[in-house]
Amino acid sequence: MKRIEHLKEHRSTFLLIRTDRLGDVILSTPVARVLRQHFPAMRIHFLVRKYTLPVVTDHPFVNRAWIDEDFAIFRSKVDFLH
């Protein structure tokens, strides 16, 4: 944990990518709460499919939600890495 202690003071952004099914998105939402507890200054974003957007849009620990269509270029680069 020592290597990530500096994140507590910095306003970093963490992107949670869940472009799979609704249940997977729901099961991932507690991660936002844990991140917020440990890193209160961190911005937490979710990248999801359009139909799962309501799950994270008004989530109290999520700063912004992105629809996966907005990241078509990003996704192609991630696919390249796999």
What are 25-66's pLDDT values in tens digits? 999 999 999 999 999 999 999 999 999 999 999 999 999 999
Give the pLDDT confidence score for residue 42 in this predicted structure: 92
Contact yes or no for 32/48 (Cβ under 8 A): no
Buried b / exposed e over 29-44, threshold 16 CB at 10 Å, is beebeebbeebeebeb
pTM of the predicted model as reported, rounded to 2 decimal places? 0.74
Distance from C-alpha of 54 to C-alpha of 72, rounded to nearest angstrom: 20
Return the number of other C-beta atoms located less than 10 Å from residue 62's C-beta: 20
- Structural domains in the chain plus CATH codes: 2-81 (3.40.50.2000)
